[in-house]
Amino acid sequence: MNIVTTLLRGFPLPCKTGVIKIGNPNKNSPVFLTANFVLTAQRVKKALNGTDCYLLVANSRGINVWCSAAGGYFTNHDVISSLKVSGIEKLVTHRNVVLPQLAAAGIESRVISEKTGWNVIWGPVYAKDIPKFMENEFRKTPQMREVKFPLMQRIEIAVMWAFPFSIIAGLITTLFWRNMVLPLISLIWALPFLIFMPFPLYSNLLNPQKKGTKFSKYTVVFDFNRVPLILEGIVLFCLIIYSVLAGTFTWEFILRWGFISFVVTLMISIDLMGSTPVYKSGLHEERFLKVVLNDKKCDGCGFCKEVCPKNCYEIDKIRHLATMPRLNQCVQCGACIVQCPQDALCFQNSKGEIISPEVLRKFKLNLMGKRAVKIERR
């Protein structure tokens, strides 16, 4: 793990774009393409170490693959430019490029092929699976397609929250409240770990469909009546035990630190679900949408299954039809809808209103999970 890039992973961190030679590639060597977020490029390079291939680093404005593609910062144009301008067309004779699967939420394989003649192969979600993907003749297993929230990623997300918060809190308290600096920074580091480490134990209690509280035009789900409140109770309990054992118990101490830990927990809880790759953020209104399949348009091509990061799809090869046996796992990323060549999929909200594939392809999510479009009524 690169310490600096991990500490700063919550911010855009661009690296140089262009073509990188890995090993001793020749004209038949595979071509991979990824985003120019430092951490992503480092991981893909590490995964490709020991192979002979080309890696194209395309402009995603220094943002990671999934967020940049869904938010319109990593576009068809960026991929097309990279293929056309990098010089890769002179280095290889074939026209197959492996893109990270999570880019499918924003980059259209059909458009890339039409504009450049390059065929897009959707690679695995995690760079570490690339060697096995290559061994498997560039085919993914269901595990390679699925996003998870493993221990190392939970540690990274905890660090991503703790680092900038502790810097800001440290600067403010150094100016006005010096004796609070160390205890406050310790608390700010402890709370995200307390929240994200046990995430698999309580994730079933989170409810992305919860309506939340309306602030201006955005609905915020604090989900505060359950998990973070329990965790906050644990913090308070630890504070009381500590102060009793240290012989410093006063209600003023408990109230002060209880309030501070409550504020920090509240801030993390606002976006608890959005910090994980397995739930849509409570800030994202798209969490209420449902993917709907038009059986008459579907021809069973399987593109939806290939790009779905939650393995929601199966393909009925007899009826040439997609089925969605695990739709309850959907995180509303939109990748299946964007990639479907028959426009057989769309989003529908609880009122029956539709977000069509054209809209999804044209308008990307802003940071609050909202598309600047009118929805259609059926």
* Binding region for ligand SF4 (CB under 6 A): 291, 293, 298-304, 307-310, 312, 322, 330-336, 340, 342, 344-345
- Taking the complex as a whole, the smallest distance from the CB of residue 164 to ligand SF4 amounts, in Å, to 29
- Which residues lie below 8 Å from residue 314, measured CB to CB, with a gap of 6+? 305, 322, 323, 324, 325
**What is the Cα–Cα distance from 243 to 224, expressed in whole angstroms?**
26
Q: Which is nearer to ligand SF4, 114 or 316 (CB)?
A: 316
**How many CB atoms neighbour CB 117 within 10 A?**
10
Q: Which helix (H) or strand (E) holds 113?
A: helix 109-116
213 closest CA partner among 226, 200, 222: 222
Nearer to ligand SF4, 143 or 213 (CB): 143
Question: Residue 39 has which token pair?
Answer: 């951490």
Least distance (Å) from ligand SF4 to the CB of residue 313?
A: 7
| Cβ nearer to ligand SF4, comparing 145 with 154 | 145
For ligand SF4, the closer of residues 192 and 309 by Cβ is: 309
Q: Which residue has the tokens 């209104």?
A: 285
- Please classify residue 45 by burial: count the beta carbons closer than 10 Å to its beta carbon, then call 0-12 exposed, 13-18 middle and 19+ buried: middle
Question: Minimum CB separation from ligand SF4 for residue 194, in Å?
Answer: 29
Q: Which is nearer to ligand SF4, 84 or 290 (CB)?
A: 290
Name which of 15 and 321 has its Cβ closer to ligand SF4: 321
Q: How far is the CB of 46 from ligand SF4 (least distance, A)?
A: 27
Instruction: Please tell me the distance from the alpha carbon of residue 89 to that of residue 80, in angstroms, as a whole number.
Output: 12
The one-letter amino acid code at 27 reads K
Q: To the nearest whole angstrom, how small is the minimum distance from the Cβ of residue 181 to ligand SF4?
A: 43
For the record, the structure tokens of 21 come out as 């030679």
Residue 309 Cβ vs ligand SF4, minimum distance, rounded to whole Å: 6
Interstrand relation of 119-123 and 53-58 (parallel, antiparallel or unpaired):
unpaired
